[in-house]
Amino acid sequence: MTKLPLEGIRVADFTWWIAGTMATRLLAAYGAHVIKIESTIQRDQIRENAQVQTGTASLNASPGFNGINPGKMSMTLNPKHPRGLEVARRIISVSDIVADNMTWGAMARLGLGYDDLVKINPAIIVLTMPVMGPGGPDTNFTGNGEQIAASAAMHHLTGYPEELGMAPGPVYPDWASNPYHAVTAVMAALYHKLKTGKGQHIVLSQYESVVNVTALPIMDYSVNGRVQTRMGNRSPYGAPHGVYRCQGEDRWCAIAVYADEEWEGLCRAMGDPEWSQGDKFGTALGRSENVDELERLLEQWTSARSAEEVMKTLQAHGVAAGVVQNGRDLLENDPQLKARDHYVRMEHPEIGSMAFDDYPFKLSKTPGRLSRHAPLIGEHNDFVTGELLGMSEDEVNELIIEGVLE
């Protein structure tokens, strides 16, 4: 099989929850040997979500954990135990990258901060992903994607004008901006190391990473002194622009019209109804000024058709339209994802067959791949202690008895 681009790179992965874990997931997909260092004492809370999602108390059954950790190994370790700290350092000594997304300073308090690690491994690359970066008044701020999105103004911009702000999807920053910014920085550091032999400390403020995707409101305020607020699904640049009810239970189609040519295409697709003719809706300004009436009339047409029919009909007339898909649509009905082989099914020892997202970028010469299911907790303790670190059976048994490998 084709050699993967990151083969030979080892990652000591102290991440948990989602943002950091998604970053190391990408590294694993492209060949990095990722060892997830976790603990049965202080568990990755997303492992415990299985109780809510599947009704089982097993730490290996969480769909959330399994979905974001394929291709990794799992090593259980109590880093607060003195000998646990020693084992962690030995793993880091034979690694290229150390990653964590804890509160700033948490790793240093364990004795695993960057200044400690360069003494063990001078060429180490350390990726630290705190909520806030060091040096400001909120350095020790704790939270997750929900709080980060709120702080970065995303909740203020998402939702309907008459309602409170809302989250733009579940923990949006953890899935969208933060892991990809992190991997980009890691790849730059690896390239630097390849050229110079020297590692680096990457400090990625998750808050600042998310602020990066709110550029338009910042520009609007900087240039116009205008504070953008919630508009629901509407747009200041065109109408109709939104999601419209279709046939069936909770079925919708997103439609966006900006140019007059697109409006004319929409009218033709609907059969040029009488209400669409005349001056009221004939210009972009008129459509925006009468948007409430326009949306009501448009929904009379969409609600009599399936979302798929609305999408295909409008697209055939040059109008941007797309079904508002749910999870079943994505996995079973989306022809584009099927043609791209986006979903990969793998067997898991406890939950059986599971569909995993493939990766959104594919390299022509060294494509990544999903190699194995997410690890069972502590599944690779023997490999790490024995084959990787060369510990004797007696030494490993001592660690087990002392509660180090927990």
Model pLDDT, residue 292: 96
pLDDT bin (cut points 50, 70, 90) of residue 51 is low
SS3 (DSSP) at 256: strand
Give the pairing of strands 252-256 and 241-245.
antiparallel
Sequential DSSP letters for 185-210: HHHHHHHHHHHHS---EEE--HHHHH
Which of the pair, 187 or 4, is modelled with greater confidence?
A: 187
Model pLDDT, residue 48: 83
Domains delineated in the chain? 10-213+343-401 (3.40.50.10540), 241-331 (3.30.1540.10)
- Range scoring the smallest mean pLDDT among 29-38, 261-270, 352-361: 352-361
Q: Highest mean pLDDT range out of 58-67, 150-159, 381-390?
A: 381-390
Task: Tell me, rounded to whole angstroms, the distance of Cα 54 from its chain centroid.
Answer: 22
With contact defined as beta carbons under 8 Å apart, do 240 and 287 qualify? yes
Q: Which residue numbers are catalytic?
A: 174
pTM of the prediction?
Answer: 0.90
1, pLDDT greater than 60: no
- pLDDT tens digit string along 199-209? 999 999 999 99
pLDDT bin (cut points 50, 70, 90) of residue 171 is low
Model pLDDT, residue 119: 96
SS3 (DSSP) at 400: helix
Chain mean pLDDT for the chain: 92
Mean pLDDT within 111-133: 96
321, pLDDT greater than 80: yes
- The CA–CA distances, whole Å, from 116 to 88, 89, 111, 190, 215 equal 12, 9, 6, 20, 37
Model pLDDT, residue 234: 92
Pairwise CA distance, residues 322 & 275, whole Å: 24
Strand locations in 246-379, DSSP E?
252-256, 320-323, 343-348, 352-357
301, pLDDT greater than 80: yes
Mean pLDDT within 149-164: 84
pLDDT bin (cut points 50, 70, 90) of residue 50 is low
320, pLDDT greater than 60: yes
What is the percent of the chain with per-residue pLDDT over 90, rounded to a whole number?
71
Task: Tell me, rounded to whole angstroms, the distance of Cα 265 from its chain centroid.
Answer: 36
Mean pLDDT within 25-44: 93
255, pLDDT greater than 60: yes
Mean pLDDT within 366-376: 86
